[in-house]
Amino acid sequence: MAVLRIMIMITGIIVIPLVLGYGFMPSEEKEARGLLAWNLGLLLLWAMFLVICLPLTLLGKGFSEVMVGYGSLTGGALMISSFRIWRGREHSKKNTRIKEVSEVSGLSYLFWGIAAALLIIQLVLVIYLAYEEGDDAYYVAIVTSSRFSDKLYTIYPYTGFTTGLTVRYAMAPFPVWIALLARISGLSGAATAHVVMPLLIIPMAYGIYYLIGKKLLKDISGEKSWHLPFYMILVELLVIFGGYSTYSRENFLLVRAGQGKAVLANIIIPILLYLLMLVFEKLEAGKSTGVLIWFWLAVVLAAGCLCSTLGSFLLCILLGLGVFCGAIAYRRWRLLIGLLPCMILPAAIVALYLKLQG
């Protein structure tokens, strides 16, 4: 039974995201396709969950209705993605190329070994030295109450009594997604939040930092270069010794991985910067940005709204500044047109939040 639960969880957080990511990945992006596909697929799952969960929560629907709607939307997205993957394979057969195998230096192997060891140490310690963070009394209780009561944000977590809709937290229902993972796998809400989520979020964060590192170091990294693994070691050391404050990004990653605030700081914002780097690369080469880049930017903003109410405000500002700087630097004012569709959902959530709070 335990093996079955683990397999279900692996399917939900690895297999399904990979299929979704591969199906909608920008065709020009060839670096670390599997890693990028996994990250993008999870972001797409979060965005789709927000689109289903938030309206149903505000309409007073239950957790079971959210599961049905989310499952249907995910199934449709998997069908479309599988079809796109099949078409891509048929096209690639006609344009097969022989890949050259690059040689790696001994120093690179050493640094990659150190980086892998540091990652394993973090994953082991974050499970065996799990810290009982104060906010868990609210967020884990939301996971548990959503799973067993079928009610969404109408049960006060500290007492278990019925209350009115808690708008502030209902607008960012990331704990409900954790509750969904717990329900379909059969694991408890606490185990999913404190064991599964760190094992998911920490590798996901380092995967994004790896992708950013490949972009930043591509001009100085050769076939035998040690720069990229050394960069990863430095990033990991910054995280390990980043507990200088309770509210630091590093502390959130190691201690609060099951909370949406940690995901916003360590996943959403870095991958938004990575996608902006892809946009600037195309602008530098004089190419069109393409529709898929804007699609993923919109997905990232929607996923950020799922994680935190602050994400709705902050991500719009970050994306707006990034695109505006690109439009000025490259004199491509049409970028501002592509910016508008990305902000429709976050702007609507902000307006709705202010109306309900007022």
**According to the model, what pLDDT value does residue 286 have?**
82
Whole-angstrom Cα distance, residue 337 to residue 174? 30
The pLDDT of residue 129 is: 79
Rounded to an integer, the average pLDDT of 291-303 is 93
- Quick one: which H or E segment has residue 293? helix 291-307
pLDDT tens digits, one per residue of 144-185? 888 888 888 888 887 878 888 888 888 899 999 999 999 988
- Name the residue ranges covered by the structural domains of the chain: 2-86+105-357
In which band, very low, low, confident or very high, does the pLDDT at 118 lie, cut at 50, 70 and 90? very high
How far apart are alpha carbons 65 and 322 in whole angstroms? 38
Q: Residue 302 has what pLDDT?
A: 94
55-94 pLDDT, tens digit each: 999 998 989 999 999 999 999 999 999 988 887 665 555 5
Distance CA 42, CA 61 (A): 25
* Distance, CA of 75 to CA of 73 (rounded, Å): 5
pLDDT at 220: 67
- Whole-model pTM above 0.85? yes
- H/E stretch holding 283 reads helix 269-284
Kindly provide the b/e burial profile for residues 23-33, where b requires at least 16 CB atoms within 10 angstroms of the residue's own CB: bbbbeebeeee
pLDDT value for 208: 95
Q: What is the largest CA-CA distance in the chain?
A: 64
pLDDT of 100:
45
Q: Which uninterrupted H or E stretch holds 190?
A: helix 189-191
Tell me the mean pLDDT in the region 333-346: 88
Coil/strand/helix, residue 340: helix
Q: What is the pLDDT of residues 233-249, one digit of tens each?
A: 999 999 999 888 888 88
| pLDDT over 50 (residue 113) | yes
pLDDT higher than 80, residue 134: no
Percent of all residues in the chain with a pLDDT value above 70, rounded to a whole number: 90
Residue 5: the pLDDT is: 80
Most confident by average pLDDT, 32-36, 205-209, 257-261: 205-209
Residue 139: CA atoms inside 13 Å, Cβ hemisphere, count? 25
Q: What is the pLDDT of residues 122-133, one digit of tens each?
A: 999 888 877 767
How many Cβ atoms sit within 10 Å of the Cβ of residue 42?
24
What whole-number distance in Å separates Cα of residue 58 and Cα of residue 43?
Answer: 22
pLDDT at 289: 81
Q: What's the whole-number average pLDDT of the chain?
A: 86
The pLDDT of residue 186: 85
Residue 277 corresponds to which tokens in the numbers above? 């780097």
Instruction: Name which residue leads in pLDDT, 116 or 333.
Output: 116
C-alpha–C-alpha distance, residues 341 and 316, integer Å: 11
Beta bridge partners of 155: 162
